[in-house]
Structure 1
């Protein structure tokens, strides 16, 4: 499996990723020609070799003509949907921008359609995101893995004024993902870089692989304490199956807790990154009715969630096990109904689509907004999703 591992010791940005892909063998002419499929003018790429702390790599800059407009998320999404980019690239870029739009909407307290993209909505960010989707496709990357992302302290100047680092949208995007302290006062992880990483990569350590090539994408700032590079290891992974991983299982039995706390406990655990939380009834010693708490989590989050369970419940101890997990590959999608779009989860066995599952909250909101029965919305989603399954040729 062709695998690219992102070594993010100096963070990640869209332009650094583009530089890395070219350094790993992506033809710059192919990238530029492919990006001409965007209905977008007034930009060009400047590509060259630069070094940081004596280490060389490829620097990519998106140069824009003055007077470029700011855009709402919907404008960008429509632009991408109507572009001449390859279908898979178009869909990937739209997923990244939607992730970015949802993060911006949450931190600014508005609907995604009202999100005004300033820095991230500028031409350079559109090119960065579409270029990353196109470049990964052209290189044939089958698996993208990212190291924990380093978060900085300090402030950055944005169109909304001075903001704390990490930028609020970056922090929102990285919720539930592994991060570390950058020990830096400069912005190392941009919202665009974070959106690409959380949408396309899984986070983890370098897998066993046959290493074919090492490359570096160069960042614009020359940092005093580290080479400002995004390093990538490109190779073919050995004994790697993206549908297998490990999950931490946390368990505790509560026979003396206040049941009114349990709903709040579940909300807090999920907000802290738990993959799932479940309660089940128990009959314990002295015939006491009790509750079993079972939490599924990423292994690196197990200790923090266990501490939270001990603090916010009557638990006196937590059992933690690591278990192997076989899972279906999943992707996010959207389907159109007569009342609006609904987010869905697409479940694949390899490349074969097995099922499409509607997101409950989207369905509930449509049902309430249009005063229709919830099952009717689900049936409409199922009819729309039917077109996503490949058709067998008639004999």
Structure 2
């Protein structure tokens, strides 16, 4: 994909489960030579594109030289997310790339490019607004909770701020034990809090987490006949409508609910 915009995001804190309060979870390590060299290589490979960045992890403020803090004025900082002090050369490169302001990731297609152990960049090309977005995915398996405990945990997790969806499925795990697989989608900005909720509500000792890209149809809500509906535009221009299930719940039969859903 030919990039028209490059967005830098921080990885600092991800492996420790401490995520920056932002969608932008990973970025060049401004304290390391690896990050600087890789950013320079990407800049050479994509001349003329615009740049932006997510929040910058820094140590406690008292540990950061005043000149570095001054150079980062106007940039969002995640204080205490790292013990590494940003290198002045890295900060200067950041300011040069972004024009002295952090900017923002534009709407559009996103390709996640891994460029090393501590560096991730997003290459962005414009597409129809809302066609794609990024979500966090958490998955794990449980083999030592009762059905009642799983039901309670599921209810609490679905109410957790930041959880978009939660699906349970059955499988067979180690020692041929039956397992329940939890698969959550979450707002990346709240991934840390959602992960904490997983540990509080289940017996899992760990889970898999990743940032994934979704493709979405253009859609919008509407109300007709006292019912809430979602209308979506399909490829080719056709439209489909779905009535909110809660607005059909009081109808007494399946036939009546299906008929109302097609209105």
The TM-score normalised by the length of structure 2 is: 0.50
